[in-house]
């Protein structure tokens, strides 16, 4: 069973793009991890998770040439893999991970960041962008709408069926 990443941490980032990875996340990531561009943030995940994503994309593309010639799959692959790094927090005695300049630019991370455990991976956010993203879901009805869209859950006068 895969460990679950949960919790939210606000962390400082030094001038070289390093931050201290909380012990809870480091223990779940193991000896190596992967950071890549996500959806408005960066994604931090286990190496196994990144390999699973790669396999899923390979299965969808029906071969490397089809993958290269399918613009949608190619765009996803470029987004995920072009900025991917494999930091090893154990090599830094202070358990710091370094974000590349490209990763910091993409996520607009400067002096601080927010780590959010979201189950099988971790999101790395610019604090202001995280706040803006959270505002999208402040209204409980919006969460019910998403649940209904994804799972067929309905909210009838606060009676969920």
**Same domain flag for 31 and 44:** yes
**Same domain flag for 85 and 159:** no
- What digits encode the pLDDT tens for the residues 12-70? 999 999 999 998 888 888 778 899 999 999 999 999 999 998 888 888 777 778 777 88
Of 19-33, 76-90, 121-135, where does the model show the most confidence?
Answer: 121-135
**Same domain flag for 137 and 96:** no
Evaluate whether residue 2 is within a structural domain.
no
pLDDT of 1: 44
- pLDDT value at 6 more than 80: yes
3-state SS, residue 153: coil
pTM: 0.83
**Same domain flag for 85 and 149:** no
CA atoms within 13 A on the CB side of 41: 23
**Same domain flag for 131 and 118:** no
Confidence of residue 154 (pLDDT cuts 50, 70, 90): low
Taken in order 36, 115, 2, 56, the sign of the CA dihedral is: negative
Q: How far apart are CA 68 and CA 77, in angstroms?
A: 9
């Amino acid at each position: 069973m895969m460990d679950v990443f949960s919790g939210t941490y606000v962390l400082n980032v030094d001038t070289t793009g390093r931050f201290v990875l909380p012990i809870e996340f480091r223990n779940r990531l193991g000896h190596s991890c992967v950071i890549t561009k996500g959806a408005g943030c960066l994604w931090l995940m286990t190496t196994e998770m990144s390999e699973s994503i790669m396999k899923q994309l390979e299965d969808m593309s029906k071969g490397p040439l089809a993958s290269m010639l399918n613009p949608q799959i190619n765009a996803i692959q470029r987004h995920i893999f072009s900025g991917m790094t494999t930091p090893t927090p154990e090599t830094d005695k202070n358990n710091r991970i370094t974000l590349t300049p490209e990763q910091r630019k993409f996520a607009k991370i400067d002096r601080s960041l927010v780590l959010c455990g979201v189950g099988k991976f971790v999101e790395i956010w610019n604090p202001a962008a995280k706040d803006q993203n959270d505002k999208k879901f402040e209204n409980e009805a919006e969460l019910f709408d998403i649940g209904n869209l994804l799972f067929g859950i309905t909210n009838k006068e606060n009676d969920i069926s």
